[in-house]
Amino acid sequence: MTRENDPLAALWMPFTANRAYKATPRQLVAAKDMHYTADDGRQVLDGTAGLWAVNAGHCRPTIVEAIQKTATELDFAPAFQLGHPASFELASRVAAIMPKGLDRIFFTNSGSESVDTALKIALAYQRSRGEGTRTRFIGRERGYNGVGFGGISVGGIVNNRRQFGTLLNGVDHLPHTHSLQHNGFTKGRPQWGGHLADALESIIALHGPETIAAVIVEPMAGSTGVLVPPVGHLERLREITSKHGIVLIFDEVITAFGRVGGATASETLGVIPDMITMAKGLTNAAVPMGAVAVSRHIHDGVVEGAADGIELFHGYTYSGHPLAAAAGIAALDLYEAEGIFEHAASLHGYWEEAVHSLKGKRHVIDVRNMGIVAGIELEPRPGAPTKRAMELFHKCFDNGLLVRATGDIIALSPPLILQKAHIDEMVGRISDLLETID
Ligand SMILES: Cc1ncc(COP(=O)(O)O)c(C=O)c1O
């Protein structure tokens, strides 16, 4: 096939080895509940909720109907200086399930936009209270905070940064908490690593607290391979940021909406930040949407403290888009009506035991878990890091299971409507396939 008539040529795929993919393409053509259908008709068990996103399972009728109905009634409404009822309703509904006090909601279209929005709000807030010298951000190594310039600057993944120049100025990073030596095969939250948060005091001492606007971390780092927060780590970040007048942002794009227990990891873990970023499960991923939940004092600082007129010069054409708002309301209704977070929580123990049964299997050097998330770390192939996990990813897919490969780690985060039989199937298949790869 020549390049001109290759039907796959035009699409430049995101975060994909385009040449390798197009040599052996694998496509998904349909989805229902816990399964995808591949283009050859095979059913593929979704071990990743799409991309940490489809928490209520695929193509749920009430969400589909809400989108269809809205599409015929109000396809679009400008978000600037106008509104439509569903965006206000969804904001109130989201506010109601956020930790107490984080009840002002700004809509975006993705996790990346939520992160950049939260960083901008932090700057505006510091300025509004006469602390305009606070312009620095502190992120964390191995953090993934999306792909906007703000997000890759505070994020801690070198491959996401090195092609893109100098990024934001004035960003520093906390150490990550991954340690096979101290935390290998820990079930749930590790005991070792809380003290790593003390590095924040050193960074603050280095720059001066009056220069630092915000700290942003994922409560559980998902994309770099499921790094579960050590006991005391987030607590300590909360203490230090409060002491120094620094805004604390939790990036909950993955962890919100039942993934680790309650509606947010913040509430589940009992550490409440000043802002929470979210996306994905907000609409069950049926329509792109993100949001930032902002504490009342930050919102009021920016809004009440402003002169007449626009208080925050920020927003997106599609902020609170009618189809997304409809999907969001329907998703929250479904989570509640079916008790989906509670159902998932009832399986946490079973999940933990099942994924840890992979300890001792070929190539497995660590297993980590939290909520309905697991990271299975494989020994990298000498001289060929990431190849082993990628091969396992392909083998799993070809054998009817979708997993996520990140580095040499296999991440699992299935829809929260899963049953024990799905867990057995996932773990059993991975266990068998590990035997078949070098
Ligand atoms: C913690 C976190 N933040 C931000 C993002 C970016 O979200 P999006 O891909 O919707 O821009 C992700 C995506 O996985 C994420 O896991």
- For residue range 331-365, list pLDDT tens digits in order: 999 999 999 999 999 999 999 999 999 999 999 99
Cα radius of gyration rounded to whole Å, the chain = 22
* 389/403 Cα distance (integer angstroms): 10
Using the structure block, give the residue that is written with the tokens 């949001």: 291
Q: What six digits make up the tokens of 404?
A: 């996520």
Ligand 1 pocket test: which of 278, 280, 318, 404 has the largest number of ligand atoms within 8 Å of its C-beta?
A: 280
CB 380 within 8 A of CB 408: yes
Using the structure block, give the residue that is written with the tokens 């079973």: 350
pTM over 0.95: yes
DSSP per-residue string spanning 175-215? PP---HHHHTT-SSS-STTGGGGGHHHHHHHHH-GGGEEEE
pLDDT the model gives residue 5: 84
User: Is the CB of residue 423 below 6 angstroms from any atom belonging to ligand 1?
Assistant: no
pLDDT beneath 70, residues of the chain: 1-3
Indicate which atom in ligand 1 lies nearest the CA of residue 280: 10
Q: How far is the CA of 144 from the centre of ligand 1 (A)?
A: 7
Indicate which atom in ligand 1 lies nearest the CA of residue 290: 10
C-alpha distances in Å from residue 220, one per residue of 69, 127, 227, 405: 36, 30, 6, 17
Write the residue with the smallest CA distance to atom 12 of ligand 1: 146
* 142/96 Cα distance (integer angstroms): 31
Write the pLDDT tens digit of every residue in 45-75: 999 999 999 999 999 999 999 999 999 999 9
Write the pLDDT tens digit of every residue in 158-177: 999 999 999 999 999 999 99
Average pLDDT, the chain: 97
pLDDT the model gives residue 3: 62
User: Is the CB of residue 110 below 6 angstroms from any atom belonging to ligand 1?
Assistant: yes
Pairing status of strand 43-46 against strand 35-38 = antiparallel
Beta bridge partners of 154: none
User: Is the CB of residue 49 below 6 angstroms from any atom belonging to ligand 1?
Assistant: no
Q: How far is the CA of 115 from the centre of ligand 1 (A)?
A: 8
> Taking Cα atoms as reference points, which of 292, 290, 275, 294 lies closest to residue 327?
290
User: Is the CB of residue 254 below 6 angstroms from any atom belonging to ligand 1?
Assistant: yes
